[in-house]
A and B are shown apart, each in its own frame.
Chain A
Amino acid sequence: MRNLIALLLFGFQLGAIVYARFVPTRYFCWAPYDIQTDYVATATVDGNRLSGADFRQRYRRPARGFDNRSPRHLIDMFQQVEEKRAKLGEQARIVMKYRVNGKEEQEWRWPPQH
């Protein structure tokens, strides 16, 4: 039983390492400090722009900072918070400008622009 539990754990991790080759996220695949993302984000909720403190409270991240993993992890957090809050009737707009490993600036917006 002990061997089985451990093997399932290892199997999950090896699966996550392979899965990470096909997606932009890097969860549970042992990729620490492999990407440097610096970003600046602004958020407006129901027409009111969030202060730095409000931003941190809502997303548990500073509005400006660095992340040492895939930028998709940041996007995941912002997006999932807003998907949950949207169910409560809140309408938010987020603009995040970011650079990956110091390269050209990219932009991500919520809600998605089509």
Chain B
Amino acid sequence: MALATSTLTPAAASKPSWNPLKFGSTDLPTGLLIMVKSLALVLLLTNHVRILPDPWLPFVPGVDLIPPVLFQRTLQTVFIVSALAVLFNRHVRLASLVLGSTMLLAVLSSKAYYGNNKTFCGLMFFLTGLSAPGTRPFVRWQLGITYFGAGLNKLLDTDWHSGVFFEIWAVDRLHHSWYIALDSMLPPLFLGRLVCWTTIMTELGVVPCIFIRRLYYWAICANILFQSSLLLFTGTTFTLFFYSMTAASLAFVNWPEGPLHVMYDTRRGLARRARRTSELLDIEGKFA
């Protein structure tokens, strides 16, 4: 029997690495760091910068007095620089704050760009940038408010009570073949009502799980399963919504800070191979 141990090296913790796969060299909690890096990568890979707007019917009066090209180019430049900074461990907290502010400013400056998904993603960056030792768990609270708002709005909507909303969406817009087939075998609106009420109960039911520590496990499970079901059923990520909502689950995870002990049997080839693979993937150099 052998013991493999991971250790934290003080040098790695003090000097930020340019390696985007290193997560131990900044002052952000590892869970939040993985979250903002994942989202920064999504923003870059989906080329989100191309849809950042010029000011058009802004929510904040006066923004449209700024020359549109100057506004848009500035927004795009700051957006890319701060996303790259997050990815490459350069002043991650500040870069996250700037990236979030850029997205929120974009949302406020154009009703054509406005969307819940962009607002939520911007808030994930902004609140992570705002987080510091001693502050409240902002990201978790934000997820709770988002689910509460979404659930309450549906709960007070008669088309969600009756199932009409989902029936129209699945049949007329998504033309979902298995939904249509199943729906035809059931009483009218039964399936629509079932999905609508399941959605309402999930969205409102997850709220207490988000705020009560011993229910975090259920918050993570419900959040990821619910968002994944939406993705699989509709075939869309709702721009940034799927990525941002699932990534927010990382705010509930306490990453291990101390050494991790892994017991394994040296006589077993599979265990030895697993150790070699782990060492190959151990970019942080924590696996002794």
Contact between A30 and B153 (Cβ–Cβ < 8 Å)?
A: yes
Chain B residues whose CB sits within 8 angstroms of the CB of A81 once the complex forms: 57
A9-B123, A66-B173 known; A34 vs B145 contact (CB < 8 Å): no
Interface residue count on the A side (C-beta < 8 Å): 36
Contact between A36 and B116 (Cβ–Cβ < 8 Å)?
A: no
A13-B149, A31-B149, A101-B159 known; A77 vs B135 contact (CB < 8 Å): no
Contact between A80 and B57 (Cβ–Cβ < 8 Å)?
A: yes
A6-B138, A30-B150, A81-B57 known; A73 vs B111 contact (CB < 8 Å): yes
Chain B residues whose CB sits within 8 angstroms of the CB of A28 once the complex forms: 119
Contact between B135 and A6 (Cβ–Cβ < 8 Å)?
A: yes
Chain B residues whose CB sits within 8 angstroms of the CB of A101 once the complex forms: 159, 164-165, 168
B-facing residues in A54-74 (Cβ within 8 Å): 60-61, 66, 73
Q: Please, how many angstroms separate the alpha-carbon atoms of A30 and B57 in the complex?
A: 20
Interface residue count on the B side (C-beta < 8 Å): 43
Against B, the Cβ 8 Å flags (1 = close, 0 = not) of A26-56 are 1111111111101000000000000000000
Chain B residues whose CB sits within 8 angstroms of the CB of A26 once the complex forms: 153
Q: Is A17 an interface residue (CB 8 A)?
A: yes
Contact between A34 and B59 (Cβ–Cβ < 8 Å)?
A: no
Contact between B111 and A77 (Cβ–Cβ < 8 Å)?
A: yes
Say what secondary structure dominates the interface of chain B.
helix
Against B, the Cβ 8 Å flags (1 = close, 0 = not) of A4-26 are 01100110011011001100001
Q: Please, how many angstroms separate the alpha-carbon atoms of A3 and B78 in the complex?
A: 25
Q: Is A112 an interface residue (CB 8 A)?
A: no
Tell me the number of A-to-B contacts counted with CB atoms below 8 Å: 94
Q: Please, how many angstroms separate the alpha-carbon atoms of A13 and B141 in the complex?
A: 11
Closest residue on chain B to residue A26 by CB atoms: B153
Min C-beta distance of B90 to chain A, whole Å: 21
Against A, the Cβ 8 Å flags (1 = close, 0 = not) of B123-155 are 100110011100110100110011111101110
Contact between B165 and A76 (Cβ–Cβ < 8 Å)?
A: no
Chain B residues whose CB sits within 8 angstroms of the CB of A103 once the complex forms: 164
Q: Is B112 an interface residue (CB 8 A)?
A: yes
> Apart from A21-B156, A31-B150, what 11 extra A-B contacts exist at CB < 8 Å?
A3-B136, A6-B130, A6-B138, A6-B141, A10-B141, A17-B152, A31-B116, A34-B154, A34-B165, A77-B112, A101-B165
Chain A residues within CB distance 8 Å of chain B: 2-3, 5-6, 9-10, 13-14, 16-17, 20-21, 26-36, 38, 60-61, 66, 73, 76-77, 80-81, 100-103
- 6 A-B contact pairs sorted by A residue (CB < 8 Å): A2-B135, A30-B146, A30-B148, A32-B116, A34-B165, A77-B111
